[in-house]
Amino acid sequence: MREIKPRSPLALLLIGIAVLYAVVLFAAPLVAIIYGAFKDGIDPIIETLTDPAVLHAFEVSIGLALGAVLINTIFGLVTAWVLVRQKFRGRGLFDTLIDIPFVFSPVIAGYAMIVLFGRGGWLAPPLFPIVFALPGILLAKTFVSLPFITREVQPVLGALSLEPEYAAYTLGASRWATFRRVILPELWTALLYGIVLTFARAVGEFGAVAVVGGNIEGYTETATSFVFRAMNDRNSTGAYVVSLILCLVSLLILFLMNLLRRRMVVSRG
């Protein structure tokens, strides 16, 4: 697309509105969080980051987010493959259902998990608890981040030519070898982009996690849940510091997304 230098007052006004919009919604909150974290010096920051409750909250957030990434990577690839390569009755409805986490309230999703997997629930496991335990948080993070890998891989897979696959089969390659050596390299950038989005969504989830996990300090409390508890406990420094770490993680994810997006544009060009 050809870029046009702004020449009219209207164009300059639109640029100013867009920049102001971005500053108000992103830059101003980030500056406020940085100021709040450092306003009392470096000692409260070190104290917060060495607090066992904070360290455990980050372990739960990152560890279970990685678990959700692993689950959604496997099943997201399978789902994309089924939607692109298989024809079956109800495929359109199944394709639509993949996007339910985009429109479903996380709080309602967490409550639905309690109804299904809680004590006396329809699908309550007999051997170990899911609700108010780490498996429930993993389930919640997996649900809210479910669509990303499928939606990133699906269009790329659909655009691939079948000729290289047929050539590999002709040369005696198995289906797994063909997928690993012929198909997966073409999907790799889109898959990584989906993985980054999945991790970002999973690590920052609060609503579903808070409902199904119960925010039990030292057990099911995540980093986002700690921020909520710190606010209620009037621990403003703790809330600011943990929020700042989460913001830095978000900025790193944003950088990776832009890098992968450029690679996708180059590979498609």
pLDDT, average across residues 175-189: 89
- Count of domains in the chain? 2
Q: What HEC string does the chain produce? A: CCCCCCCCHHHHHHHHHHHHHHHHHHHHHHHHHHHHHHCCCCHHHHHHHCCHHHHHHHHHHHHHHHHHHHHHHHHHHHHHHHHHHCCCCCHHHHHHHCCHHHHCCHHHHHHHHHHHHCCCCCCCCCCCCCCCCHHHHHHHHHHHCCHHHHHHHHHHHHHCCCHHHHHHHHCCCCHHHHHHHHHHHHHHHHHHHHHHHHHHHHHCCCHHHHHHHCCCCCCCCCHHHHHHHHHHCCCHHHHHHHHHHHHHHHHHHHHHHHHHHHHHHHHHC
78 and 209 housed in the same domain: yes
216 and 121 housed in the same domain: yes
Residue 97 covered by a domain: yes
Its domain, for residue 191, covers 41-268
The span from the first CA to the last CA of the chain, in angstroms, equals 13
Query: In whole angstroms, what separates CA 128 from the centre of its chain?
Result: 27
CB 225 within 8 A of CB 215: yes
Residue 83 covered by a domain: yes
pTM of the model: 0.87
Of 102, 62, 97, 110, which Cα lies nearest the Cα of 215?
A: 110
Q: What's the pLDDT band for 136 if we cut at 50, 70, 90?
A: very high
Residue 105 covered by a domain: yes
52 and 128 housed in the same domain: yes
Question: Which is more confident, 194 or 124?
Answer: 194
CB 191 within 8 A of CB 130: no
95 and 112 housed in the same domain: yes
Residue 93 covered by a domain: yes
49 and 138 housed in the same domain: yes
78 and 130 housed in the same domain: yes
Q: What's the pLDDT band for 261 if we cut at 50, 70, 90?
A: confident
Angstrom CA distances, 252 to 38, 195, 219, stand at 21, 14, 27
Geometric angle at alpha carbon 145, from 142 and 147, rounded to 5°: 115
Judge whether residue 178 has pLDDT over 80.
Answer: yes
28 and 102 housed in the same domain: no
Judge whether residue 152 has pLDDT over 90.
Answer: yes
Judge whether residue 7 has pLDDT over 80.
Answer: no
**pLDDT tens profile 65-97:** 999 999 999 999 999 999 999 988 999 999 999
Of 240, 144, 131, 244, which Cα lies nearest the Cα of 198?
A: 144
Judge whether residue 202 has pLDDT over 60.
Answer: yes
Residue 2 covered by a domain: no
CATH number at residue 87: 1.10.3720.10
21 and 45 housed in the same domain: no
pLDDT, average across residues 114-131: 84
Judge whether residue 120 has pLDDT over 90.
Answer: no
11 and 67 housed in the same domain: no
95 and 28 housed in the same domain: no
How is residue 133 written in tokens? Answer: 């335990």
Residue 203 covered by a domain: yes
pLDDT for the residue 129: 87
Burial class (CB in 10 A: 0-12, 13-18, 19+), 143: buried
88 and 212 housed in the same domain: yes
Residue 183 covered by a domain: yes
**What is the torsional sign of CA 192, 198, 199, 201?**
positive
236 and 125 housed in the same domain: yes
Q: What's the pLDDT band for 22 if we cut at 50, 70, 90?
A: confident
Judge whether residue 198 has pLDDT over 90.
Answer: yes
How is residue 7 written in tokens? Answer: 């020449």
Residue 33 covered by a domain: yes
